[in-house]
C-alpha cells in the first residue's frame, strides 16, 4: 500500500523548522552570512541534542529577514507538503522572528505568508492556516507582545495561538495572560507540553492555558489518570513521532507511546514538527507507523478525521476539504 497518495491533515509544523537546508544555505550565501557550522557533511542540519537543535533553528531562522523571504519559504514548504499528500496544514509562525513583535512589521510578514499560501493553494490545492506561536524561553513579556500581534491579526488565515520552545523554561501559568488575550480574540489554543517535561506540564497547560490541543503531549502516557482525563475531555494531541525519536525521547518507533495513547481513547493526530531537521516527511511518518504498529489506511483515515475536526479553521473551510 502506498501511503503517499493518502490525503493527510497536518496540524503541527513550524514554518522555519520546515525550511529546506538548501534554501537557508542559498539565502545565507546571498547575504554573506556564514552558517557553515549548522550543516553536516551531507548538507543537512547538524545538532547534538534539543538545546543545540533550538540554537541551530534560531541561527537558520536569522537568515530569513524580509517578508519576501518568508513568502519564498512558505511556497517551498507548501510545495513539499503537497507532494506528500497533505491537503490541509497548520503552521506555527512567530512575531518574534517576523518583525520583532512590531505590529506593523508583523502585518507585512503575515500578508506575505498568506499571499504565498493562496498562490500555493491555486497551484496544488493545499490549504494552509497559521498559528502564532510565542517562544517559551523568550519569557512571558515577549509572549504577551506576540499574543497582541495574534489578536490584532486574527481572522480567516490566522486561526490559532500557541507556545513552543524550551519546555523547562518557566511554567505554563506564566503565559496565562497571553493565552487569555488570544482566547478573547477567538483564536484556537495549543501548547507544546509533555515533550521535555512530564505529565505535570500537560496538566498545567490544560488547567492554566485552557488549550483544546497539546503539541506532543506524549509523556502524558506516564500518568494513567491524565490519559483518562485527555480521553474524556477529547483533548487532541499533535503527535510528532519522528521528531520525538530523532531528538532521543524514545529509542525507536515501537517504543513510541502513540499506539498506546490511541488504544486508551486519546485523540491522537500525526505531524512532522520540523521535517528536514528530523529527516522525515508525512509519508515517512505514516510508513514507520504502519511498520511499527500495523496501522492501515482505515487507521490513518480515522486519524485524519480527528485532525480535521480539531483544526482551527472555520467550518466552511473544513467542509470544502472533507
Check: CB of residue 101 under 8 Å from CB of residue 146: yes
Under rule CB under 5 A, residue 195 binds Zn ion: no
Under rule CB under 6 A, residue 35 binds ligand ADE: no
CB atoms within 10 A of CB 125: 11
Helix, strand, coil percentages (3-state) for the chain, rounded to 5, are 55, 15, 30
Q: What is the DSSP letter of 206?
A: I
Hey, CA dihedral for 254, 257, 260, 265, is it positive or negative?
negative
The reply to whether 90 belongs to the active site is no
Under rule CB under 6 A, residue 219 binds ligand ADE: no
Under rule CB under 6 A, residue 17 binds ligand ADE: yes
Q: Total number of residues binding ligand ADE (CB under 6 A)? A: 10
Residue 155, all three cell numbers: 481572522
Distance CA 130, CA 5 (A): 24
Site residues for Zn ion, 268-307, by CB under 5 A, read 273
Under rule CB under 6 A, residue 14 binds ligand ADE: yes
Under rule CB under 6 A, residue 192 binds ligand ADE: yes
Residue 81, all three cell numbers: 507538503
Q: What is the dihedral of CA 272, 152, 175, 262, to 10 degrees?
A: -30
What's the closest the beta carbon of residue 165 comes to ligand ADE, in angstroms? Answer: 5
Under rule CB under 6 A, residue 243 binds ligand ADE: yes
> What three-state secondary structure class fits 82?
helix
What's the closest the beta carbon of residue 90 comes to Zn ion, in angstroms? Answer: 11
What's the closest the beta carbon of residue 134 comes to Zn ion, in angstroms? Answer: 13
Name 93's bridge partners.
132
Per the residue annotation, which of 90, 195, 204, 238 is the catalytic one?
195
Residue nearest to ligand ADE (CB): 164
- Show the binding pattern over residues 154-173: x = contacts ligand ADE (CB under 6 A), - = does not: ----------xx--------
Residues that bind ligand ADE (CB under 6 A): 14, 17, 57, 164-165, 192, 195, 243, 273-274
Amino acid at each position: 500500500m502506498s501511503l503517499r497518495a493518502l490525503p493527510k491533515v497536518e496540524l503541527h509544523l513550524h514554518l522555519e523548522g520546515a525550511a529546506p537546508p538548501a534554501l537557508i544555505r542559498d539565502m545565507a550565501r546571498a547575504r554573506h552570512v556564514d552558517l557553515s557550522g549548522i550543516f553536516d557533511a551531507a548538507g543537512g542540519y547538524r545538532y547534538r541534542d534539543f538545546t543545540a537543535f533550538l540554537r541551530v533553528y534560531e541561527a537558520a531562522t536569522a537568515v530569513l529577514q524580509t517578508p519576501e523571504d518568508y513568502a519564498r519559504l512558505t511556497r517551498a514548504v507548501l510545495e513539499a507538503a503537497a507532494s506528500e499528500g497533505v491537503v490541509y496544514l497548520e503552521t506555527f509562525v512567530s512575531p518574534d522572528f517576523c518583525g520583532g513583535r512590531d505590529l506593523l512589521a508583523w502585518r507585512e510578514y503575515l500578508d506575505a505568508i498568506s499571499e504565498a499560501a493562496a498562490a500555493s493553494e491555486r497551484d496544488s490545492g493545499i490549504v494552509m492556516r497559521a498559528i502564532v506561536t510565542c517562544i517559551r524561553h523568550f519569557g512571558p513579556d515577549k509572549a504577551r507582545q506576540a499574543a497582541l500581534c495574534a489578536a490584532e491579526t486574527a481572522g480567516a488565515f490566522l486561526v490559532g495561538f500557541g507556545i513552543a520552545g524550551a519546555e523547562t523554561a518557566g511554567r505554563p501559568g506564566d503565559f496565562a495572560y497571553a493565552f487569555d488575550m488570544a482566547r478573547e480574540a477567538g483564536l484556537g489554543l495549543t501548547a507544546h507540553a509533555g515533550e521535555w517535561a512530564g505529565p505535570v506540564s500537560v496538566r498545567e497547560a490544560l488547567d492554566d492555558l485552557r488549550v483544546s490541543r497539546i503539541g506532543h503531549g506524549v509523556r502524558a502516557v506516564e500518568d494513567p489518570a491524565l490519559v483518562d482525563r485527555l480521553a474524556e475531555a477529547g483533548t487532541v494531541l499533535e503527535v510528532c513521532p519522528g521528531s520525538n525519536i530523532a531528538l532521543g525521547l524514545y529509542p525507536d518507533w515501537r517504543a513510541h507511546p502513540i499506539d498506546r495513547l490511541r488504544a486508551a481513547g486519546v485523540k491522537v493526530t500525526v505531524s512532522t514538527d520540523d521535517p528536514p531537521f528530523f529527516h522525515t516527511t508525512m509519508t515517512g511518518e505514516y510508513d514507520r507507523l504502519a511498520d511499527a504498529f500495523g496501522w492501515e489506511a482505515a487507521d490513518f483515515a480515522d486519524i485524519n478525521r480527528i485532525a480535521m475536526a480539531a483544526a482551527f479553521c472555520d467550518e466552511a473551510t473544513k467542509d470544502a476539504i472533507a
